[in-house]
């Protein structure tokens, strides 16, 4: 999937996958959510996200909602927060060693 946002192109085929998360629902469930954090060759971060008809990624399909997909640009700080929110601290320590405090 590719998407242009504010004049910048994002392509999951050309980017490096950093980490993925899903909410535990089956792919065909209406509540399903799957997100993957990517980094471009220019060190720009973005999420590739998809979800079922009742997820935050759903789309309008006629008079109903259906599953949808999106690419969401993230700042470096937002990428760190996303990793932290999904308990991916070890990945954050590797990807952002200067931003993660270790005791």
Note the pLDDT of residue 7.
78
For residue 79, is it within any domain? yes
Cα 101 to Cα 24, 47, 96: the distances in Å are 29, 24, 10
pTM (predicted TM-score): 0.89
Give per-residue pLDDT as tens, 8-27: 888 999 999 999 999 999 99
For residue 101, is it within any domain? no
Look at residue 103 and tell me whether its pLDDT is greater than 60: no
For residue 86, is it within any domain? yes
- What average pLDDT does the chain have? 92
Distance CA 10, CA 49 (A): 13
Tell me which residue range forms the domain holding 51.
2-95
Phi and psi for 48 in degrees, rounded to 5?
-100, 125
For residue 103, is it within any domain? no
Task: Count how many domains the chain has.
Answer: 1
**Other Cβ atoms within 10 Å of 33 Cβ, number:** 18
Note the pLDDT of residue 5.
81
């Amino acid at each position: 999937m590719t998407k242009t946002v504010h004049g910048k192109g994002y392509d999951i085929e050309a980017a490096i996958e950093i980490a993925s998360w899903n909410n535990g629902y089956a792919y065909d469930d209406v509540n399903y959510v799957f997100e993957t954090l990517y980094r471009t060759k220019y060190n720009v971060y973005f999420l590739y996200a998809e979800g079922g008809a009742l997820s935050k990624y759903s789309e309008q399909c006629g008079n109903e909602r259906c599953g949808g997909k999106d690419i969401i640009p993230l700042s470096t700080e937002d990428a760190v927060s996303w990793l932290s929110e999904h308990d991916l601290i070890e990945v954050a320590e590797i990807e952002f060693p200067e931003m993660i405090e270790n005791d």
